[in-house]
Structure 1
Amino acid sequence: MGSRPSFIDDLARAAADGASPRADAGDDALLDAYSRTVIGALERVQPAVAFIAVERRAGGNAAARSGSGSGFLFTPDGYLLTNSHVVHGASSLRVTLADGATYSADLVGDDPSTDLAVLRIGAAEALPHAELGESARLRVGQIAIAVGSPLGLAQTVTTGVVSALGRSLRSTSGRMIYDVIQTDAALNPGNSGGPLVNSAGQVIGVNTAIIPGAQAICFATAIDSAKWVITQLFAHGRVRRAHVGIAGTSVPLARKVQRYFDLGSASGVRVMEVVKGSPAAVGGLRVDDTIVAIDGMPVDSIDALQRLLDASRIDREVEIDVIRLTQKLSLRVRPVEQTG
């Protein structure tokens, strides 16, 4: 008989040693480091992640409808962040935390335009809460960890990376959500409202949507946008926005344009549409103008434009700087309050 193949000897030695054949110690070390990173991040955030049970009254003779989603505590006194579509129109909200404790919850406010909502639960003791990170500092390729209750399976963890930044997504209200994070950390129905966290366990986004039929394409609202919405909901119970009547997109600015006009940023917002009769139309904005500042503050993205068009600028004349062909113009526009 001929000599037996060498891999048979490898398998025999591996069985005796309790290890896989030809294991690479370097690969094991990398895997262990990755595992330790994920586990460490989860230890920080998982106690703050909640399962949200939702009841909605139905009209007529129809039975009440129930649903569920995810959320997370972001303060020790019981404030939670979740998705608007999870809780909008709810007649009853019940929140179950990682330790099994269950509380009734009240809606502080929700914003369908960014698909975000804030809830409050009452508790006698300080509660575990997640640390909010900074989405502006994200890099494509860095670790992204999603925690939530997909299909009602509480405290489910999936991992991946930040696949892309600055995506746009249409909300249930029809308004575009800008500055959206794309990730390949798997999300399923029920993950909505749960946190997307970085390797330090800091929340970088609020999981909000999947594309039905697609694989590994999931989205989260950037936490920097969520912070602004939170302050608005605390102040007003809703988000008040100034409206000028344009549609636009973020665009880079050529370096020579930056130098020539002494601009403070490398990008602006190109006007793609001006609504007839809107404040923008009355103020003289045109399609293909590039907005670079409002009241002297740089506008380097759609997200920045939306942040600047806050309640403080409703019914108040503002100065909008635009680049039009070879000129820099300052236009006077009086925003109105956005409705609907």
Structure 2
Amino acid sequence: MSETDPLGAEAEGIPADALDAYSRVVTDVAATVTRQVAAIEMFLATSRGNARRGGGSAVVFSESGHLLTNAHVITGASAGNATFADGSTSPIDIVGADPLSDLAVLHARAGLVPAPATLGNADSLRVGQLVVAVGNPMGLSGSVTAGVVSALGRSLPTRFGDAGRVIEDVIQTDAALNPGNSGGALADSRGIVIGINTAVAGVGLGLAVPINLTTRRIIDALLRDGRVRRAYLGLISAPTPLRPEVAVRVGQEIALRVVDVIERSPAARAGLKVGDLLLSAGRQPVHDAQSLQRLLFVEAIGHPLPVTVLRGTAMVDVIAEPEELSAVR
């Protein structure tokens, strides 16, 4: 230790200036994002008064007082209250919820709300990148933890009935998350929110729903309609690298291998089979679950969807007609 290095960081092989730089990033992000995250308490109005249904966190994302949280945080509730970092409170109403993405939009009734967070694009994240989680675990408001992006492209089972559906492209982080963090912000080193913390899967394992183009479409639908209408194909797939000679032939390196086809689904009626390598849909290349999901919103319902697969060595073109998801639950 020394007067210039009181913690002995250099003696441990860690440059003091690097440690200071890390601290500066985290404290700057915390100072910004903490103001943008509210603690929420949800309740169900009954004839006997308000029955508490749970709580969590939510992120302010519009000047007009809209907040983004997890759908599971508001399940069974009809309204709630939000408490902001400055101690101000506001009643909140539920604008809409989407269990399939575990996202929900709320609205604060109070005239003044904190300046909204900047929503980024998680598609640009890299494994090992610094992230900061802000939320209200165990009722401890404004709690901040830091870590890294541990993995990308994880899947998270939803609470959507018993259909075995999953949220795709979930962010995995080692930033500590606890009950009450759900609905809080996962921010990058610039203080831009790139995920909504959604679950704790185990010790040192936190998950967050990514903010990306698909998420923005979901948010827009919730703001407009209070729900998300989706198209349904009825297949389960997984990204698969193509052999080099096949990749050259088809012009892409990754396809979606069909691992299951739901009986009597649009995919089954179109003739898709387990083992098919899905190359394109709607004449657009597909290489991961998200690229397919982007095509399965309201405008695809009831309309022919051209699909190209590689079956063995043959290229096969079929036409599927997606149904509305709510009709096939």
Change in CA separation of 1:149 and 1:254 when aligned onto 2, cut-off 3 Å: same
Render the CA deviation track for 1:47-79: whole Å, top value 9, x for unaligned: 1101001113579x9993342100101111111
Contact 1:291 1:322 (C-alpha < 8 Å) held by counterparts: yes
Q: Distance in 2 between matches of 1:22 and 1:294?
A: 58
Q: Quick check: 1:77–1:123 contact (8 Å CA) kept in 2?
A: no
Which residue, 151, 154, 167 being the options, matches 1:167? 154
- Counterpart residue number, 1:277: 264
SS of corresponding position for 1:315: coil
Secondary structure in 2 matching 1:64? strand
Decide whether aligned partners of structure 1 residues 221 and 21 sit closer, same or farther in structure 2, where only a CA change above 3 A counts.
Answer: closer
Partner residue, 2:205: 217
Are 2:242 and 1:253 aligned? yes
Is the contact between residue 78 and residue 93 of structure 2 (CA under 8 Å) also seen in structure 1? no
Matched residue, 2:40: 52
What is the Cα deviation at residue 300 of structure 1? 1.3
Q: 2:74 aligns with which of 87, 96, 99?
A: 87
* Partner residue in 2 for 1:244: 233
Deviates more, 1:171-180 or 1:19-28: 19-28
- Deviations for 1:239-274, whole angstroms, at most 9, x for unmatched residues? 11111111111222233222212x3x4322111111
Structure 1's unaligned 5+ residue stretches are: 1-9
Structure 1: how far apart are the matches of 2:313 and 2:114?
57
- Percent of counterpart pairs with the same letter? 43
Say if 2:305 is the partner of 1:305: no
Residue 303 (structure 2) aligned to one of 301, 306, 316? 316
Equivalent residues in 2 for 1:1-340 (5 A)?
20=6, 24=10, 27-56=15-44, 64-125=51-112, 127-173=114-160, 174-211=164-201, 214-224=202-212, 225-261=214-250, 263=251, 265-339=252-326, 340=329
The one-letter code sitting in structure 1 at the alignment partner of 2:43 is: E
Distance of aligned partners of 1:335 and 1:21 in 2 relative to their CA distance in 1, 3 Å threshold: closer
- What displacement does 1:23 show? 5.4
Gaps of 5+ in 2: none
Instruction: Please give the alpha-carbon distance, in whole angstroms, between the structure 2 residues aligned to 1:325 and 1:152.
Output: 56
1:228 and 1:316 map into 2 onto residues whose CA distance is 19
User: 1:162–1:184: 8 Å Cα contact kept in structure 2?
Assistant: yes
| AA in 2 matched with 1:44 | T
Cα 1:293–1:27 change in 2 (3 A) is same
Going from structure 1 to structure 2, the CA distance change for 1:49 and 1:282 (only over 3 Å counts) comes to same
Letter in 2 for 1:228: R
1:123: how far off? 3.8
Q: Is the 8 A contact 1:47 1:99 kept in 2?
A: yes
CA distance in 1, matches of 2:103, 2:129: 24
* Aligned AA (1:329): V
Preserved contact between residue 79 and residue 94 of structure 2 (Cα < 8 Å): no
Structure 1 pair 323–65 and aligned structure 2 pair: CA distance change class (3 A)? same
Instruction: Return the alpha-carbon distance in structure 1 between the equivalents of residues 142 and 9 of structure 2.
Output: 32
Write the letter of the residue equivalent to 1:35. Answer: S
Q: Mean alpha-carbon deviation: is it higher for 268-277 or for 151-160? A: 268-277
Q: Over alpha carbons, which structure has the higher Rg?
A: 1
- CA drift of 1:20 comes to 3.6
The count of corresponding residues between Structure 1 and Structure 2 is 321
